[in-house]
Chains A and B, each alone.
Chain A
Amino acid sequence: MSVLYILVLASIAVAAFFLAAYVWSVRNDQFEDNKGAALRMLQDDEPTKQ
């Protein structure tokens, strides 16, 4: 099953990629505010004066 070598290497590479992405996102304050976006989309933007 030579495919196993490919799969093991690929698994490690993918895992490393995701770990790096996660570490980057935390360090980059990506998880700072997890309320604002969900609230803002509820507001309608009808003109203030008709």
Chain B
Amino acid sequence: MDNTLQTEKFYYDNKIVKWFAYATILWGLVGMLVGLLAALQLVFPVLNLNTAATSFGRVRPVHTNAVIFAFVGNGIFMGVYYSLQRLCKARMFSDALSKLHFWGWQLIIVCAAVSLLAGYTTGKEYAELEWPIDILITLVWVTFGINMFGTIIKRRERHLYVAIWFYIATFVTVAMLHIVNSWEIPFTWMKSYSWYAGVQDALVQWWYGHNAVAFFLTTPYLGVMYYFLPKIANRPVYSYRLSIIHFWALIFLYIWAGPHHLLYTALPDWAQSLGTVFSVMLIAPSWGGMLNGLLTLRGAWDKVREDPVLKFIVVAVTAYGMATFEGPMLSLKNVNAISHFTDWTIAHVHVGALGWNGFLTFGVLYWLIPRIFKTNLFSQKLANWHFWIGTLGIVFYAVPMYWAGFMQSLAWKEFTPEGQLKYQFLETVTQMRPFYMMRSIGGTLYLLGAIMMTYNLIKTIRAGKAVNDEAAEAAPLAKTYVEHSGSHWHRWIERRPMQMMVLSLIVVGIGGLIEIVPTFLVKSNIPTISSVKPYTPLELQGRDIYVREGCYTCHSQMVRPFRSEVARYGEYSKAGEFVYDHPFQWGSKRTGPDLARIGGKYPNSWHFNHMYEPSSMSPGSIMPSYPWLFENDIDTAVMGAKIRAMQTLGVPYPEGFDKVANVELMKQAESIKQNLAGDKIEIKSNREIIALIAYLQRMGTDIKLEQKATTASNN
């Protein structure tokens, strides 16, 4: 490059970084506090407070959404806005877009929390937000993208450092995942049905869900690692070549791994196998990246002993290594047969979330805030205390959950010598309570650490003075690039951010296309079952209540083809049973029993009493009570719109059914009311509980009826 060029003076925008840092801290505390509430609700069901907005099924999505999109989300933007400006030697493209991005994201968070607590949910994990918020997310994400690419284009450093590739891949992949998975058909201004049904919905959802982990919790944080770790340790990354392999291999392989969330389900076998194979291969780039991070510190371990910032980062990268080793192991079918639906999964994600995301965020905050405020950290000692309390918190969280998961799964599978299931499901739940209590203690410790950090940082901020616009100097980019030997490695792509984005999109697109397209187009993947019929209007209303109350956060609807599950729940689930399920509700956790074949198992009165006070029917149950279902009326005003939406999605309701649906609904509700009256239960037929009972009694019965019919004809 031409050395005679005049250097230019410009200013980095620290103010926006500061704002995102504050938001990260605030939402981190909120998200963790809500998590602690959810954890305690599993020990003391009374903490559900008998109110809709505070029951576990609504609180849990608030926790997951808050820690992922509010805490880590703001953490990503904090890291990106700080590092991107410095790596590009340029101020952010537009201060106005930065502000719009910041406030837009906070608005999304507030809307998300309010709407989730109010019961507006799509029923798809980590994609629960309803369609108007989905649109808002898309707009704000694009704002972020324009701001990022604008900055990259006006940069003064020609080379795009590895951290920026991770940011670009994050931007483009999250956009793709969000748009495809949120494809839904609205029928009111806050409610919609998923465009996809059953098996296909499950595949799209976990393609999204797993890659929310990959491209929201991992790739942007890897970018943050690749910038902040070398910067803090003041030594270059161990191997820049390895970082290239890490990047391309990671983004290519990750996208395929989604189906490992659906092993042994009704998803076609070939897709399950692809999920497993690619998950196992993921060890290579993941560990390559982890080692690249840790080896950057070679010869600097004396600094790690002294500096709490580096301690946090070392544990973060180590936790990344542990989680990315465990993930592939959990994707093996034989391991997954035990781990799936248990608290093992919860332990696994928390090693990643508390260790990798949490600790990396804390490390960056401790380093960044004093720099922006041109002062020293208020107390190194307090930060060290935070480090140890936080680490202990992770251990106290993860160990009981591993133990609980393993124990519960083995109990589910145990048979007596006579060939009967040894444990009632409820017994395996009550055994979990001490573990849930210990987990809450771990969570409390972790939260305590975060509170200490907040105090420490507030003191630091008070002692310093913010440099909102930090002066910097660099030579402008020469208009024409003169190639000369020895300095253009990986150069072509690194100088072309847009091509980089397109190539990243192609690389991440391959996996999704190959898994999703055949599942949609090859008919033999989802054999239809003639006895499977659409839900009646009352059942559909009941199903929407099931989704609204977040029943899927604790109950699966997927009987896997194991002896223990068939003995406990009934015939294993078939792909053809779910063709009218918009959205699918297979769930990912069995805090309560599977419900795929609950229909006809208990009388209506049992469900009635159980939903009013679960422990009256199941002593020791940790399920919340749902008293509001007994007071709220079924929302019949939207019945027609619901039917029409379903017809658009291809559900074969007859022409004009939307007009008469409410008549059908009342007929069925009346018959349930009469049936309950037979058991001396008085309830109006238009209460929500009636619809929920109708849905619960329908579940899984289509196949049961068919079997009865075949046995009858055989006799």
Contact = CB atoms under 8 A, between A and B. Distances in A.
B490 to A, nearest CB: 4
Given A32-B489, A41-B161, A3 B268 contact: yes
B236 A42 contact: yes
B589 to A, nearest CB: 30
Contacts of B487: 32-33, 36
Interface string B474-518: 100000000001111111111000000000000000100010001
Contacts of B533: none
Interface string B661-700: 0000000000000000000000000000000000000000
Given A2-B522, A3-B270, A41-B161, A33 B488 contact: yes
Q: In terms of DSSP, what is the predominant structure of the interface of chain B?
A: mixed
Contacts of A36: 159, 487, 489
A42 to B, nearest CB: 6
Given A37-B159, A47-B473, A28 B486 contact: no
A40 B489 contact: no
Interface in B637-654: none
Interface stretch (B122-130, B226-234, B442-450, B540-548): B226-234
B236 to A, nearest CB: 4
A25 B489 CA distance: 9
B488 A40 contact: no
A38 B237 contact: yes
A44 B510 CA distance: 39
A20 interface: no
B87 interface: yes
Contacts of B493: 30
Contacts of B490: 25, 30-31
A40 B86 CA distance: 11
Contacts of B522: 2-3, 6
B270 A40 contact: no
Interface string A1-19: 1111011001000100000
B488 A2 contact: no
Interface residues of B, number: 42
B472 A37 contact: no
Nearest to B159: A37
B524 interface: yes
A46 B467 CA distance: 13
B161 A37 contact: yes
**Most chain B CB atoms below 10 A, which of A2, A29, A38, A46:** A38
A41 B489 contact: no
A2 to B, nearest CB: 6
B9 interface: yes
B231 A42 contact: yes
B514 A7 contact: yes
A38 B514 contact: no
B89 interface: yes
Contacts of A42: 230-231, 234-236
Contacts of B241: 31, 34
14 contacts: A3-B522, A6-B518, A7-B270, A10-B510, A32-B487, A33-B486, A33-B489, A34-B240, A34-B241, A37-B161, A39-B236, A42-B234, A45-B472, A48-B7
Given A32-B489, A41-B236, 18 more contacts: A1-B270, A3-B270, A3-B525, A6-B514, A10-B514, A25-B490, A29-B488, A30-B491, A30-B492, A32-B485, A32-B487, A33-B486, A36-B489, A38-B236, A40-B157, A41-B230, A41-B231, A45-B86
- Top 3 closest A-B pairs, CB basis? A38-B236, A32-B489, A33-B489
Interface of A: 1-4, 6-7, 10, 14, 25, 28-42, 44-48
